């Protein structure tokens, strides 16, 4: 069975885009470092590419990038770093996580801190822990919301009262769809509560979690005549907010009971699981939930009144709030907060019935949320089509794919575009989403389905106007995005190195034959017999040689660029190799300088602890940071995985042979 240098687990609340974007970024980052990796994904279809016990045992380090429970206890004792999935959506960010994991110390708490900054992050990670538990509940809840909401919405195709046997438009099939959809929607809060609890207390917490969720939707039953608590009475539910409280309560009650019952004999473990935990946890959680039903119902009502108050302030205020929340992190916690609020409002709307004020407000709110989520990917599609020459081929292809993602209500496709230029791309996305939300509210659009994008258009009231609102938001945002990319493109063009004078070019042509385009390594830039006292001395030597060779204009600027990259994470690899790289405007042409030190450079951290004997230094002009840089780096990293390549470069003292060997891999 193959062993992997790095193993990883990724997972986002919806299990759609973030999960697999993080997987791809981690795989690319590992390849750049010459490392093997296996990434386990926790998506909506379940766990894929599952890690085995032997793979976990054989790995050097673990990266967990997830906002849901991925059973991190499996990795106890391993070098590990654990962050939210949004921290691993770019190759650069994923690379930093891998470096941190390799530099971490293994311990029983499966937490690792590579430096002071990381220690601060770990101390603050309680917020991420709470968010992870919450999102575990949300991810399980969403599928119930989507299935129930869409089925309920489809039932309206036969008429808005087609489920009512006394109505003139009654249809038995529509009535059955409404019943099935209603059951699925009613399970929303109990499932939310149960899986928040399960994330905290594992399987024993499911029972009290489900009970807490049911109490949250039913409230404390009171007899209308006596005013006393009565099992046959009626209560006021306190919605998904109560489900969240109940989920955390149930989970931590289980943890408390585990401590209380820890003194019992080992042979009573079966009794604890099947009798003691469910009995005591359900009683405790149930009593607490019933006891707080009054205050929780008041809080829930106040929150709904606040949202309705925003609506009373005008479509602009409410639409701006919805649009900014949905686009600020595109599928992250703020986006999910807006979406879950929308589904909660929709649940109340469907329960209230068509024609009521609650129905009109809830479905209008949901339509605005959906519009705001659809717009960002469509902005990127518009931009890569209209401003094609300002985007790389990779971005262009991603933007075209985003047409499908956007139309089906998957916002995350726009994330790679935003991470490259958070400013001003994030405000552009927020503006486009806000415009769509505001117009949706103004156009009085009503969406009784919580997901699906344009697939649910047949059930959307004023659907054509909804599409128009979304297109306006996408076009405005797209125009601004193209304008920014045009400005950025022209700025980089001006910063590109100026061609050498004709006389100098002619002289060079006389002195030496013209190098091939792929010959980034010139023989004169290969130094095979150096002796460096430290990493910084080696990097300083390369920086000065770059100036002497006409590759750079300022040795100090190049040195600073090298050191800045080393500060992000060592470029020392394995088996005596390092790939330092500098990106700077002081570098005038892309090139590679190779230095060899047979005795080994000390003070240069490597992944296997072996001193660096060969440094393949990459020098990249600032304007080519995202293109030539990545191309050369990925090819060098790939070459280092080849045993023959390593042996030739490390064993040879012939500069020409070394240059030829490396150039052959950069084609």
Reduced 3-state DSSP string for 345-361: HHHHHHHHCCCCHHHHH
In total, the chain counts a number of residues equal to: 667
Q: Are 119 and 100 in contact (CB under 8 A)?
A: no
Lowest mean pLDDT among 17-26, 474-483, 493-502, 516-525: 493-502
Mean pLDDT on 191-218? 94
Q: Alpha-carbon distance 179 to 173, whole Å?
A: 10
pLDDT at 629: 59
- Give the gyration radius of the chain's Cα atoms: 30
Residues with Cβ within 8 Å of residue 425, at least 6 apart in sequence: 417, 418, 481, 484
Residue 121 scores a pLDDT above 60: no
Lowest mean pLDDT among 466-475, 497-506, 627-636: 497-506
Nearest to 196 by CA among 124, 140, 277, 256: 140
pLDDT at 384: 95
Token pair of 377 as six digits: 């990917």
pLDDT at 411: 84
Beta-strand pair 6-11/61-66: parallel
Q: Around 70, how many Cα atoms within 13 Å sit in the side-chain half-sphere?
A: 35
Which CATH code is given to the segment(s) 6-124? 3.40.50.2300
pLDDT at 109: 41
Catalytic residue among 18, 42, 581, 629: 581
Range picked from 202-216, 325-339, 503-517 for highest mean pLDDT: 202-216
Q: Sign of the C-alpha dihedral, residues 532, 538, 544, 548?
A: positive
Catalytic residue at 581?
A: yes
Nearest to 110 by CA among 144, 84, 74: 74
pLDDT at 515: 38
Residues with Cβ within 8 Å of residue 57, at least 6 apart in sequence: none
**Which residues is 46 bridged to in the sheet?**
43
**pLDDT tens digits for 272-314?**
888 999 999 999 999 999 999 999 888 878 877 787 777 778 8
Beta-strand pair 46-48/521-527: unpaired
Judged by DSSP in three states, 262 sits in helix
Catalytic residue among 12, 326, 373, 407: 12
Burial of 24 (C-beta count, 10 Å sphere; 0-12/13-18/19+)? middle
* Helical spans, DSSP H, in 6-109: 18-32, 53-58, 91-103
Q: Alpha-carbon distance 384 to 330, whole Å?
A: 19
Lowest mean pLDDT among 198-212, 465-479, 485-499: 485-499
Nearest to 219 by CA among 197, 239, 192, 248: 239
Residue 517 scores a pLDDT above 70: no
Residue 610 scores a pLDDT above 90: no
The band of 265, judged by pLDDT with boundaries at 50, 70 and 90, is: confident
Nearest to 641 by CA among 32, 210, 130, 41: 32
Peptide bond into 424 cis (omega under 30): yes
Domain boundaries, the chain: 6-124, 129-298, 313-490, 518-665
Lowest mean pLDDT among 49-58, 115-124, 228-237, 576-585: 115-124
Q: What is the DSSP letter of 66?
A: E
Residue 187 scores a pLDDT above 50: yes
Q: Calculate the alpha carbon distances from 240 to 114, 129, 281, 580 in Å.
A: 39, 20, 21, 51
CA dihedral 623, 627, 633, 634 (to 10 degrees): 170
**pLDDT tens digits for 205-229?**
999 999 999 999 999 999 888 889 9
The band of 511, judged by pLDDT with boundaries at 50, 70 and 90, is: very low
**Which residues is 80 bridged to in the sheet?**
62
Burial of 303 (C-beta count, 10 Å sphere; 0-12/13-18/19+)? middle
pLDDT at 249: 97
Q: Are 46 and 38 in contact (CB under 8 A)?
A: no
Catalytic residue at 409?
A: no
**pLDDT tens digits for 353-407?**
888 989 999 999 999 999 999 999 999 999 999 999 898 887 888 899 889 888 9
pTM above threshold 0.85: no
**Which residues is 619 bridged to in the sheet?**
582, 591
Q: Alpha-carbon distance 450 to 473, whole Å?
A: 20
pLDDT at 613: 93
Q: Would you tell me which CATH number, out of the four given (3.40.50.880, 3.40.930.10, 3.40.640.10, 3.20.20.140), belongs to the domain 518-665?
A: 3.40.930.10
Average pLDDT, the chain: 85
Q: Are 659 and 522 in contact (CB under 8 A)?
A: yes
């Amino acid at each position: 069975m193959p062993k992997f240098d790095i193993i990883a687990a990724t997972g986002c609340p919806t299990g759609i885009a973030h999960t697999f974007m993080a997987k791809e970024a981690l795989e690319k980052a590992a390849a750049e470092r010459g490392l093997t990796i296996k990434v386990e994904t926790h998506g909506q279809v379940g766990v894929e590419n599952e890690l085995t016990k032997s793979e976990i045992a054989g790995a050097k380090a673990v990266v967990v990038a997830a906002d849901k429970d991925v059973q991190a206890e499996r990795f106890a004792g391993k070098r590990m770093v654990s962050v939210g999935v949004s921290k691993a959506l770019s190759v650069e960010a994923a690379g930093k996580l891998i470096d941190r994991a390799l530099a971490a110390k293994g311990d029983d708490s499966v937490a690792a801190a590579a430096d002071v900054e990381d220690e601060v992050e770990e101390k603050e990670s309680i917020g991420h822990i709470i968010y992870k538990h919450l999102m575990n509940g949300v991810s399980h809840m969403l599928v119930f919301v989507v299935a129930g909401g869409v089925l309920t919405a489809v039932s309206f195709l036969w008429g808005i009262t087609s489920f009512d046997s006394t109505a003139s438009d009654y249809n038995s099939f529509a009535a059955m769809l409404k019943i099935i959809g209603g059951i699925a929607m009613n399970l929303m809060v109990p499932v939310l509560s149960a899986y928040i609890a399960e994330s905290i207390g594992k399987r024993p917490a499911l029972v009290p979690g489900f009970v807490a969720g049911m109490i949250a939707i039913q409230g404390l039953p009171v007899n209308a005549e006596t005013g006393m608590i009565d099992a046959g009475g009626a209560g006021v539910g306190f919605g998904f907010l109560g489900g969240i409280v109940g989920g955390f309560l149930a989970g931590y009650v289980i943890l408390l009971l585990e401590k209380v019952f820890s003194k019992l004999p080992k042979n009573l473990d079966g009794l604890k699981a099947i009798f003691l935990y469910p009995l005591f946890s359900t009683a405790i959680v149930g009593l607490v939930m019933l006891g707080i039903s009054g205050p929780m119902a008041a809080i829930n009502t106040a929150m709904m009144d606040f949202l309705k108050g925003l609506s009373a302030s005008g479509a602009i205020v409410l639409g701006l709030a919805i649009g900014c929340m949905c686009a600020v992190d595109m599928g992250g916690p703020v986006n999910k907060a807006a979406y879950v609020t929308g589904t909660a409002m929709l649940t109340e709307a469907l329960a209230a019935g068509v024609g009521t004020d609650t129905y009109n407000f809830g479905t209008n709110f949901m339509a605005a949320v959906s519009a705001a989520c659809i717009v960002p990917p469509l902005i990127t599609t518009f931009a890569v089509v209209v401003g094609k020459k300002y985007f790389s081929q990779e971005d262009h292809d991603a933007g075209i794919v985003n047409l499908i993602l956007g139309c089906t209500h998957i916002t995350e496709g726009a994330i790679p575009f935003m991470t490259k230029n958070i400013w001003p791309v994030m405000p552009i996305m927020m503006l486009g989403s806000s415009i769509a939300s505001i117009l949706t509210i103004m156009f009085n659009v009503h969406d009784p389905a919580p997901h699906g994008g344009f697939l649910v258009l047949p059930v959307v009231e004023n659907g054509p106007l909804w599409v128009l609102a979304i297109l306006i938001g996408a076009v405005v945002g797209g125009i601004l995005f193209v304008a920014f990319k045009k400005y950025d493109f022209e700025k980089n063009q001006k910063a590109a190195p100026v061609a050498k004078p004709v006389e100098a070019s002619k002289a060079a042509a006389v002195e030496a034959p013209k190098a091939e385009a792929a010959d980034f390594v010139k023989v004169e830039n290969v130094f095979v017999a150096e002796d460096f006292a430290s990493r910084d001395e080696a990097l300083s030597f390369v920086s000065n040689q770059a100036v002497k060779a006409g590759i750079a204009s300022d040795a100090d600027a190049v040195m600073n660029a090298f050191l800045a990259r080393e500060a992000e994470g060592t470029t020392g690899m394995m088996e005596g190799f390092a790939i330092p790289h500098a990106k700077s405007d002081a570098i005038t042409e892309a090139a590679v300088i190779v230095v060899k030190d047979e005795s080994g450079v000390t003070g240069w951290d490597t992944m296997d602890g072996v001193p660096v004997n060969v440094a393949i230094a990459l020098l990249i002009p600032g304007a080519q940071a995202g293109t030539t840089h990545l191309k050369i780096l990925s090819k060098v990293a790939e070459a280092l995985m080849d045993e023959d390549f390593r042996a030739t470069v490390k064993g040879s003292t012939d500069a020409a042979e070394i240059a030829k060997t490396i150039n052959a891999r950069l084609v």
